[in-house]
Amino acid sequence: MDEGNGDVWVNASTRSSESHAWKVPLKGRPQVAVTSGPGVFGATRSRTASAWVLTASTPDQMPRYEVRSGTH
């Protein structure tokens, strides 16, 4: 949860073969897909919401982890 921006980050999908990271606002704004494309993705936020780790496994790449800063 990113309390400063009023967002919750979740991993979800409508397909059993894929998973994506989403930023879901708690009030009044539309949800935002943080990842896209075929594969299994996830996001884990730091407690301060100043950084996050993207995990990605796609059909053409081995699993990878990227540390990112900011909200998106």
Q: How far apart are alpha carbons 48 and 71 in whole angstroms?
A: 11
Output Rg (C-alpha) for the chain, integer angstroms.
12
What are the domain boundaries of the chain? Answer: 7-69
pLDDT digit string, tens, across residues 27-68: 888 988 888 889 999 888 877 767 888 899 999 998 999 998
Q: How far apart are alpha carbons 63 and 29 in whole angstroms?
A: 32
pLDDT digit string, tens, across residues 6-16: 788 888 888 88
pTM of the model: 0.74
Other residues' Cβ atoms within 10 Å of the Cβ of residue 52: 20
